[in-house]
Amino acid sequence: MVEIARNVDPDNHALYEGVPAADHRLERLRQLLVGGEISELSRVTHLLDEPEQLATAVGNVLPEATARASHTQLGEALAPAVERAAQRSIQKNPNTLTDILYPVFLPAIRKSIGEKIDQTFQSLNESLRHIFTWHGLKWRFEAWRTGTSFSAVVLKHSLIYRVEHVFLISRASGLLIAHVTSQDATSEDPQLISSMLSAIQDFVKDSFKEKENSGLDTIRFGELRLWSEVGQFATLVAVIRGNPPEELHEVIRDVLLRIHQESSRALERFDGDSSQLPGVETQLQTCVELQHMDSKEGFPWLVVTAVLLALIVAGGWYFLSWQSAHRWQAYLSRLAAQPGIVVSDQKIRGGDFYVAGLRDPLAADPQSLLPGTDVDPARVHSNWQFYQSFEPQFVLKRLSASLAPPDSVRLSVVDGRIVAEGEATTTWINRARAAAQQLSAGGPVFDISRVRDVSAEDRWQAYVSRLQTQPGIIVADQNVRDGQFYITGLRDPLAADPQSLLAETQVDPARVHASWQFYQSLEPQFVLKRLTASLTPPDSVRLSVVNDRIVAAGEATTAWINRARAAAQQLSAGGPVFDISGVRDVSPEERWQAYVSRLETQPGIIVAQQNVRDGQFYITGLRDPLAVDPQSLLSGTQVDPARVHASWQFYQSLEPAFVLKRLTASLYPMDKVRLSIVNGRIVAEGEAPDTWIDRARAAARQLSEGGPEFDISKVRDVSPDARAAEHWQYYVSRLEAQPGIIVAQQSARGGQFYISGLRDPLAADPQALLSGTQVDPARVHSQWQFYQSLDPKFVVKRLTASLSPPKSVRLSIVQGRIVIVGEAPAGWISRAQAAADQLSADGVVLDVSQLSELNLAELNQLREAIQTTDIYFSSGRVVPGPEQTPVLDRLADQLKEFAENARKAGVTARFMLTGHSDITGRETANASISAARAETVRALLNKRGVAPELLQVRGAGTFEPAVPENENSPTGNSTNRRVSVTVNLE
Amino acid sequence: MLQKKICMLGGFAVGKTSLVRRFVQSIFSENYLTTVGVKIDKKSVVFPDKTVDLILWDLAGEDDIGSFRVSYVRGATGLVLVVDGTRPATLAVALTLRERCEAEFGAMPFILLFNKSDLTDRWAISDGEIDELKQRGWQIYLTSALSGEHVDDAFRQLASMVAK
Ligand SMILES: Nc1nc2c(ncn2[C@@H]2O[C@H](COP(=O)(O)OP(=O)(O)O)[C@@H](O)[C@H]2O)c(=O)[nH]1
Ligand SMILES: [Mg+2]
């Protein structure tokens, strides 16, 4: 029982101390009495301890529990959590909540704005209440009639505007969903406008970091305003002319909201097919119907006029309608009488008049016929199509416009035909003929037969007068009949051919009928011609016309003089005088002597001997092959060649002219050398290569024996330049063959050489390539721009410089690709990969697939050894005792080895020396001691050959003890007075 | 009215603007390209059973892929990827741009144009390379904005792809 009690209440445990602790019978009893409860208890405990099970259990009852809980308490309890949840959600993505709330808050906002406006109206209402004006009355009436407040009417009338376009634009794609315009508004392509608008909105949003949904809501261009309302899936843009009231925003928003409510799914899924959103246009239509145009009426007149009008309208309606119909008929018959106007249809409907038909653009304007008919132009709706009337007077007008007849032509209508009369040029007549041809298909006849072609006649007259001035041509008669030309007359066979003169005049030869008779003109120049032809005077006789007489002068043989005399005799009967008294009779001997003396004056011909024996002529002498041929000089001398016996020997004349010719033939002077004779000397000037100069010099030497002087001192030896140019070309081609060098331009001018181009910094130095080319570096002007060659060889060079590959990798070029093979640390491999990515944009392949990560095991061991080394110090000392020297020696060796191995692997090792102190003394002192210890060790390691830039120092003070300090120890822990080393790889 | 938004994508000076200019008569000035970064043109492509209005967005300055405004591609139904056939590196640019768009907006139909086909002497894309891309089932055209070669065909093809 005690045990039971103890189990039921542990406090009893203390009370009944003396009871044995374990009695199996009691255990049995307990099982019997409360066994069920115990197992139930443990199940519940388990349930409470296991979070998952507990959650399931609570979850089952939570909805029920919430429903039953006291509402105020539950609300208070949940409020903070819900607020936090909402905050989180907004921070994460504001759109989620916006999308959820959108349908809710828009009407809410609308409502509150509406209330605000109502309030404004109310106060306006107050102030306007007592104003009693015509407008006031009118507006009050309107307010009563429409059931709106008076102030709304007042406001409405002071705002004048019109919504001209409404665009509904998909927010996702900027595509136009629907577009409506007011009746007479125009615009460019609405699809493009909508896309551009949305692009501009995107742009503004991006550029000014505007928040989502707050795009451009108003833009203004002069008279036009763009108002946009952004909805969940679509934006509505209204283009408004004038001065819209603020409430219009609300109306537009309303329309947008309605569209969203009705077609939200279709809007969300809009993919450019507007047939999926059929009802939208009608919705938008309500927007463009929004407008208000207030007319500027004056107060009393309006009333009076209105009343009068009303009376008139009421009283005279039937009369008026009858009268207007009557007037309309009058107008119509007037129209019908107009040439060039064809009325095809007309009717009167609802007091309006409709007329349709055809009109010639040249006919009277139907509109202009209205005044005077008392028909109200505003009620006339006409539909005219243009056509071309064939009525003669229209055709006449059109012809006058298109043919532009000259003043000398008159067009008129005669019996329904169009007749042209007068004079015109051929071209105009041809055009008129073409027009007549065209008209023949259905139009009136266009008769141009009475137009005289003046141009042909003018030309004919010009031809005739030209003939009349021709010597040897006598025009007897000419006339023009029926476009044909007739001419008769006389012509000398030696005169110009009338036919050939015709060819130059553009007179149609087929229309010319000429009849010419030959005659011998006795005009002196014709006689002269005939005499020249019949007498064939020798070269030494000249015939000419002097004062209408024909005069012969000169020298001739007796035989010729006799024939001339006979001719003169003949002419004496009616012809001009032929005077031969001026011709001297010369004997054959005289003529021979004249020939010989002519030969003697010839350069290059030397007459040695000549004589005349038995009517035969003998001559001997020398002649230069380059001199004139004596034989050819005979002709024209009237010496009979058959009686001449000549014997010539060739020789070389040393006369400068001949020498010059010979030199020209033998030396082939270059283009740039000019030979000339100056004061009996032959002078060469210009430029030539040395080989030519050598040959010229030899010729000059030859000539020096008896010949004229040959002066070549003025020829400049250009060979050095030529040779330099050759060398330069060689240098240029050498450069061009260099990889990594691109020659853009090169030239040689005035002995200087210019070159420009691109070079890779890694390519050979162009300057260095000069050596050995014999090009004078002082005359070379080069301009090189650096560029990076994509030649794999250069890329390899660059990579080698920039990546500094570890020894364990090899770069090579395989079929134009760069391949890296070997082992490298991960950091280096990723740099190589980055380089490969960059190069691929330039089209160069860098293959890093054969790189594998370097095995760092060996390094790791060394690192371990280094990091476990500590340098110890005596209390308060910053210099380690002598017993630390071997430790420092070994550490220095290890650091150097590690640094070297790391470098080989392509990484940089850095060692951090951290100084520490024990906790005795002030903390500030400890901090500086610890730093000083690290500095000392750095200096000591440096002395042992470790590069200082690899060693970094810091003081840790007492903060990083190696072993926990005993607060009570007066000396502090010597293990903590140390410098430790850590290794970092970069 | 069936409209589809199409974006022209490709590296600097590959000929996007020229291709659009060749395909359609513009109403907007090309100034928009520099100011707003995009120019929009429309071309109606007529098929026997329907007419598709292509709304072409020509984006400026994609030279630097980092500055590319992906947001302009939102809502697009198709892409025109343009490569300069004389500059092989522009192929990678075009493909990267496409990847960026697909990552953002999912896969969409596209055509791949190797432009400047008139510059045969400087052509730098091998037939093998093009065949390999064709193997992937891509629609590829060799176009010239200069001569107009294949420009209409290519856009027509895209229109039929996006109108499905
Ligand atoms: N030869 C040739 N030149 C072209 C062609 N397409 C464009 N270009 C030229 O390439 C340059 C860049 O064109 P552009 O259309 O401005 O390129 P975008 O930057 O992609 O818009 C311009 O000088 C064009 O004249 C083509 O098919 N052939
Ligand atoms: Mg462009």
pLDDT along chain A (986 residues), means of 10: 52 53 72 80 79 78 74 69 68 63 54 50 47 60 71 61 85 86 70 76 59 55 76 86 78 87 86 84 80 45 44 49 74 80 78 80 79 78 78 83 83 88 83 82 82 80 86 86 87 84 79 86 84 83 88 85 85 82 82 87 87 88 85 80 87 84 79 85 86 85 81 82 82 87 85 86 86 85 84 84 82 89 83 86 85 76 90 89 92 92 79 90 83 90 91 87 75 85 86
Return the best residue to mutate from B16, B18, B121 for the ligand 1 pocket (most ligand atoms within 8 A of CB): B18
Which residues 101-130 on chain B approach chain A with CB closer than 8 angstroms? 124
CB contact under 8 A, A191 and B3: yes
Burial group, residue A731, by CB count within 10 angstroms (0-12, 13-18, 19+): buried
What domain range includes position B43? 2-162
For ligand 1, whether the C-beta of B38 sits within 6 Å is no
What backbone torsions phi and psi does residue A704 show, to the nearest 5 degrees? -60, -20
Confirm or reject: Cβ of B149 under 6 Å from ligand 1.
no
DSSP β-ladder status, B110-115 and A780-786: unpaired
- Nearest ligand to the C-alpha of residue B119? 1
Q: For domain A859-985, which CATH number applies: 2.40.50.100, 3.30.1330.60, 3.90.1150.10, 3.40.50.11600?
A: 3.30.1330.60
Question: What is the spatial distance between Cα A338 and Cα A384, in angstroms, rounded to a whole number?
Answer: 14
Under an 8 A CB cutoff, do A174 and B5 touch? yes
- CA dist., res. A196 & res. A1, Å (int): 95
> Considering only CA atoms, which of A315, A292, A255, A42 is closest in space to residue A155?
A292
The ligand whose atoms approach the alpha carbon of B94 most closely is 1
Return the CATH fold of A319-386: GMP Synthetase; Chain A, domain 3 (3.30.300)
* In chain A, where the domains are located: 2-63, 104-292, 319-386, 392-455+475-512, 524-586, 727-853, 859-985
Q: Report whether residue B14 contacts ligand 1, using a CB cutoff of 6 Å.
A: yes
Cα angle, residue A885 at apex, residues A881 and A889 outer, rounded to 5° = 155
Dist. CA A710–CA A676, nearest whole Å: 10
Q: How far apart are CA A470 and CA A91, in angstroms?
A: 112
A524-586: CATH topology = Alpha-Beta Plaits (3.30.70)
Ligand 1, closest atom to CA B21?
15
Q: If you measure CA to CA, which chain A residue comes closest to B76?
A: A173
B95, burial (CB in 10 Å: exposed 0-12, middle 13-18, buried 19+): middle
List, for chain B, all residue ranges whose pLDDT scores fall below the cut of 70.
25-37, 61-67
Q: Is the ipTM of this complex over 0.85?
A: no
In degrees to the nearest 10, what's the CA dihedral of A397, A398, A400, A402? Answer: 170
Residue given tokens 């589809």 in the structure block: B4
Instruction: Copy the structure tokens of residue A245.
Output: 């009231």
CATH assignment of the domain containing B56: 3.40.50.300
Instruction: Give B-chain residues touching A275 at CB under 8 angstroms.
Output: 1-2
Q: State the distance from the centre of ligand 1 to the C-alpha of B15, rounded, in angstroms.
A: 4
| Per-residue confidence (pLDDT) for residue A968, from 0 to 100 | 66
Chain B positions touching A273 (Cβ under 8 A) are 1-3
Secondary structure of residue A409 in the 3-state scheme: strand
Closest-CA distance of chain A to residue B24, Å? 13
Instruction: Say how far apart CA A541 and CA A535 lie, in whole Å.
Output: 11
Convert A900-952 into a string of H (helix), E (strand) and C (coil).
Answer: HHHHHCCCCEEEEEEECCCCCCCHHHHHHHHHHHHHHHHHHHHHCCCCHHHEE
Q: Give the full edge-to-edge strand order of the sheet including A616-623.
A: A605-613, A616-623, A644-650
Question: The CATH number of A104-292 is which of 3.30.450.20, 3.50.50.60, 1.20.210.10, 3.30.450.70?
Answer: 3.30.450.70
CA distance B63 to chain A (A): 12
Contact B42 A189 (CB under 8 A): yes
Is residue A813 within 8 A of residue A796, CB to CB? The reply is yes
d(CA A454, CA A427): 11
User: Looking at residue A344, what is its pLDDT?
Assistant: 75
Comparing A319-386 with A859-985, is the CATH topology the same? no
pLDDT of residue B109: 95
Residue A416 main-chain phi, psi, to 5 deg = 75, -5
Chain A residues in contact with B5 by the CB 8 A cut-off are 173-175, 195, 272
Distance from CA of A685 to the nearest CA of B (A): 50
Find the DSSP H helices in A374-495. 392-403, 426-439, 454-469
> Is the Cβ atom of B116 under 6 angstroms away from ligand 1?
yes
In this structure, the number of other CB atoms found within 10 A of the CB of residue A424 comes to 23
Taking the whole predicted model, whether its pTM rises above 0.90 is answered as: no
Contact criterion met (CB below 8 Å) for A161 and A220 = no
What is the predicted pLDDT for the residue at A795?
85
> A476 CB near a chain B CB, below 8 Å?
no
What's the structural domain count of chain B?
1
CA distance A400 to A418: 11
How far apart are the CA of B17 and the centre of ligand 2, in A?
A: 4
A278 touches chain B (CB under 8 A): no
> For A149, which DSSP code?
-
Give the model's pLDDT for residue A806: 80
The CB-based long-range contact list for A518-523 (8 Å cut-off, 24+ gap) reads A518/A490, A518/A491, A518/A492, A518/A493, A519/A474, A519/A490, A519/A491, A519/A492, A520/A492, A521/A471, A521/A472, A521/A492, A521/A494, A521/A495, A522/A574, A522/A575, A522/A576, A523/A471, A523/A472
What are the φ and ψ backbone dihedral angles of A16, each rounded to 5 degrees? -110, 70
Q: Tell me which residue in A175, A200, A203 faces B5 most closely, judged by beta carbons.
A: A175
- Mutant choice from B12, B20, B42, B55 vs A, greatest count of A C-beta within 10 A: B55
